[in-house]
Amino acid sequence: MLWIIITASVTTILSSYYGYQRLFFLHQLTARNVSIAAILGLSVYSVMMLLFRMDIMSEQIGAVIITNVYASLTGFFGGSALEQYQTKRKAGSILYAHRSFLTDHAAVIIAIGIILFGIYRTALFTNLLMTPIRVSSGLSFIAFGFWGMTLRLVPEFRSEGIILLDNLIDWQHFLNYKWFLEEVIEVEYDQEKVIKSFKTYIPPEEQLEVEDLLRAKMMEKVEES
């Protein structure tokens, strides 16, 4: 039991570091990457089950592996959540963000539900036996919930840049904007020397505010160049 806890603790610390370094962002995920990761995960799980049924791998070794997998998820999402929170602080105050129940509360409610499920999964407040697998799996859900609380479904225009899900677009990388539809604006920016864009809904009563904000940022770029 002790060495399982030690290995899981080391795994959590290491994965926290890599999560904090933000090895990838949500915009980098593709259907191909997700499919490959899912196939690899299922393959490893199938091999483990096969070895277990053939009595080649003991139950203790399997428990260590599964516990460390959950520990790696705990550290990764925990580190990512901390970095994302710090990024939002560095991004400054919010100049504009479309507010609604869905954007402001629905995602947070879901994240809180995941956190509560994680607490339940640890068996801390139940009569179930607390095992390394239960605790590590519960902590992974808790970390994932906190990471989810740092995300917003709509872009946040802040004083130092635009927060787009888990990514900060500095105003220096802001290129242009145009109205894609009557109530949908398209914002262009460059990222890693590639011109990208995103679209977001702007209510009619808030369109003038957004226009003034983006026009002012474009003027600042012209004056600085």
Which domains are delineated in the chain?
156-224 (2.30.29)
**pLDDT band at residue 225 under the 50/70/90 scheme:** low
Task: State pTM to two decimals.
Answer: 0.85
C-alpha–C-alpha distance, residues 7 and 11, integer Å = 6
Strand partners, 184: 181, 201
Calculate mean pLDDT across residues 81-98.
Answer: 91
| Cα–Cα dist 107/17, whole Å | 26
Q: At what angle do helices 132-149 and 59-90 cross, to 10 degrees?
A: 20
Instruction: Categorize the per-residue pLDDT at 85 as very low, low, confident or very high, splitting at 50, 70 and 90.
Output: very high
Closest CA to 74 of 151, 149, 165, 138: 138
The predicted model gives 28-46 an average pLDDT of: 81
Residue 123 corresponds to which amino acid?
A
Q: How many residues does the chain have?
A: 225
Nearest Cα neighbor of 52 from 40, 61, 41 is 61
Identify the residue with better confidence: 216 or 37: 216
Phi, psi of 139 (to 5 degrees): -65, -35
Using DSSP's 3-state secondary structure scheme, residue 97 falls into coil
Query: Is residue 52 pLDDT above 90, yes or no?
Result: no
- DSSP-assigned states of every residue in 64-98: HHHHHHHHHHHHHHHHHHHHHHHHHHHT-SEEE--
Please tell me which residue, 95 or 5, carries the higher pLDDT value: 95
Instruction: Give the residue among 156, 164, 163, 157 at the shortest CA–CA distance from 217.
Output: 157
Beta strands in the chain (DSSP E): 94-96, 156-158, 161-164, 167-170, 174-181, 184-191, 194-201
Residue 101, burial from CB neighbour count under 10 angstroms (0-12, 13-18, 19+): exposed
Residue 29, pLDDT score: 76
Q: If you ran DSSP here, which 8-state letter would residue 50 be given?
A: H
Model confidence at 14: pLDDT above 90 = yes
